[in-house]
Amino acid sequence: MATKRRPLRPNLGNPGNSPSGSNMNFRPGGPDITRSEARGTRPTAAPTSIREILVMGVIHLCKKIIFFNTDLKVALYLGSLFVISVIGDFAPFPKTYFARSDNLFNQYFVKVGWGWTLLFVVPFLVLSAYTITCGDHKRMLRHHFPRIVIATFFWFFWTKLFNIVENSYGRCTTKGFQSKSSCLRAGHLWKGFDISGHAFILIHSSLVLIEEARPIIRWETIKEHIRNECHNRSSAQNSGTNPLRTLNEEQMRSLQFLYKRLTPIIRTLFIGMAALQLLWDIMLVGTMLYYHRMIEKVISGIIAILTWYFTYRFWYPTPGLLPEAPGNGSFSYQREIPTFPFKRPSHLSTGAASSSGSSTSRTNLNGKAATMGVPRDQQMPTFMGMPLFTTPKAASAAANLLLTEQQRRDKEREQQPLES
């Protein structure tokens, strides 16, 4: 037998038989709601347009391309340099247009490859670092921009050293010429140990592109943090989890303005960086097939990888040393994705039940959330790399709702045989 619902707020409204009296079963709004009664609410996100969905789909695809497991990619670089180069040395491939040194890609892309890399990396680094430092141009120039200067220095140093080695340990095919330049001007050939500058610049540029693009990881969460922090400050709430809680008012205003204005440009540059990185990988395969000997390409690849490891895996992540690693700023927005805090009901679970225990979660160097010791059916559900629940509190509320609904369905099934 159905019973009359108890009013949610019997102490509010007009007395008597007024339709807005004590029988209201909803929480009214307006000026009668005090701040303490409104606590706990969160502003909702603005509706997402079709254009925004398409852009985020392209960004997600680019992340898959550029943030392919970096450690595995490095191993593939070295292995491919050895295997494909050996095949090219002992079983030469048919000569094609790409085997010519004056082909279009070699002349206008590979030989000026570092210039193409700087064309995308410099504005992306400046704009992203300027945003996450809340408009502090001094910190951006001191803590982030030197990474490009260092990368350019290593490019210049190693390529010049390769030329010195070739000139010092080579000889002309015709006697009487002591230098490479005079030998070539006379129309002869210079034979020396020519460490592959092509392989070095392509691998060096690819790894720099990958590392400098890392600020785009979880970039979209900044918008949510701004919205929640503005709400917390307007309602005098102190959130212990929002990474923007330590920013002052001037920094918050700068972050809001810069994020809104610069995000479209940053996304466009990131798409260009992903396309360029894919082009460098394709051009590297052509270099393995047609240019230089195997040992010359392997040595250049090892030098490029060691340079990357020393800078981006040892130097920059070390606390107290400048410059900082990409993505560091006035706040930390690349926090780990929390694991799903409850075991899903059986009708939603995709795997067998397992015992719950303490687990850790971290964001690895390839921009993906890695969970340690957490079954897949207990992890935070994600869509396009973003968590469906933004906070553990929201996830717990959803968990309780699902569990309550499942218990209600179970009770109904148990009561049906008794009634029949």
Alpha helix stretches (DSSP H) within 291-310: 294-308
Instruction: Point out the catalytic residue in the list 144, 198, 204, 225.
Output: 198
Contact 188, 172 (CB under 8 A): yes
Q: Is 347 a catalytic residue?
A: no
- C-alpha count within 13 angstroms, C-beta hemisphere, residue 116: 22
CA distance 131 to 220: 13
CA distance 113 to 115: 5
E strand residue ranges, 166-316: 171-172, 190-191
CA distance 172 to 252: 65
- C-alpha count within 13 angstroms, C-beta hemisphere, residue 37: 10
Instruction: Point out the catalytic residue in the list 143, 144, 225, 292.
Output: 292
Angle at 63 between CA 153 and CA 214, to 5 degrees: 40
Q: Is 198 a catalytic residue?
A: yes
Question: 171: which strand partners?
Answer: 191
Handedness of CA 17, 23, 29, 32 (dihedral sign): positive
Catalytic residues: 198, 292
